[in-house]
A = this chain, B = another copy of it.
């Protein structure tokens, strides 16, 4: 018997998955949460075999939840449900030690397969996910590194996207406007975008916000 806990901010998705999985004898859903905080609280008492996790959630997203659990010394077999197939994201998931990742547009067969696989201590990544990861890795490491922003750079990207000017950012971070300027310049170069608009666009496409 595999005991599952679902975290997804959409009740329909929770109900739907519950419904799909209720057809499977070996799987039982022991609980669910509509957001990261609720999940954290409930998981203090519940102990599922597999955590089924939506990655796109408001407030506390999936990756943050995994990190929070890790900090608490709580390691669970985790299977991530994701909407979009973003290699950058996949890499983060693997880095965080998440065992599996299934696209939401996968079928129920894949879902059930992934759950049993993850429960057995294995890992499962949808073919589409690994494909796009491979493709991404096929590009020279150099090219990938180019798109890797540093912590500070990510911080600045966010502040820019939130309508702060260079001077405002400088004040908020207690650094010189010149420095912010340099960061912005480096970011634009790294991303290969043309201007601030492209930078903001990037912030949204990689859902940094």
Contacts and interface: CB of A to CB of B under 8 A. Distances in A.
A22 B22 CA distance: 12
A105 B9 contact: yes
Interface residues of A, number: 39
Copies of this polypeptide in the complex? 2
B106 A197 contact: no
A194 B162 CA distance: 9
Nearest to A168: B194
Contacts of A196: 196-197, 200
A102 B17 CA distance: 18
Contacts of A20: 12, 15-16, 19
B104 A11 contact: yes
A163 B193 contact: yes
A57 B107 CA distance: 18
B104 A10 contact: yes
A178 interface: no
Contact of A161 (B81, B160, B201): B201
A194 B201 CA distance: 16
A162 B12 contact: no
Contact of A197 (B83, B104, B160, B194): B160
A86 interface: no
Interface of A: 9-13, 15-17, 19-20, 22-23, 34, 81, 83, 102, 104-108, 111, 160-165, 193-198, 200-201, 204-205, 209
9 contacts: A10-B104, A10-B105, A11-B106, A12-B13, A13-B104, A19-B22, A163-B194, A163-B201, A204-B204
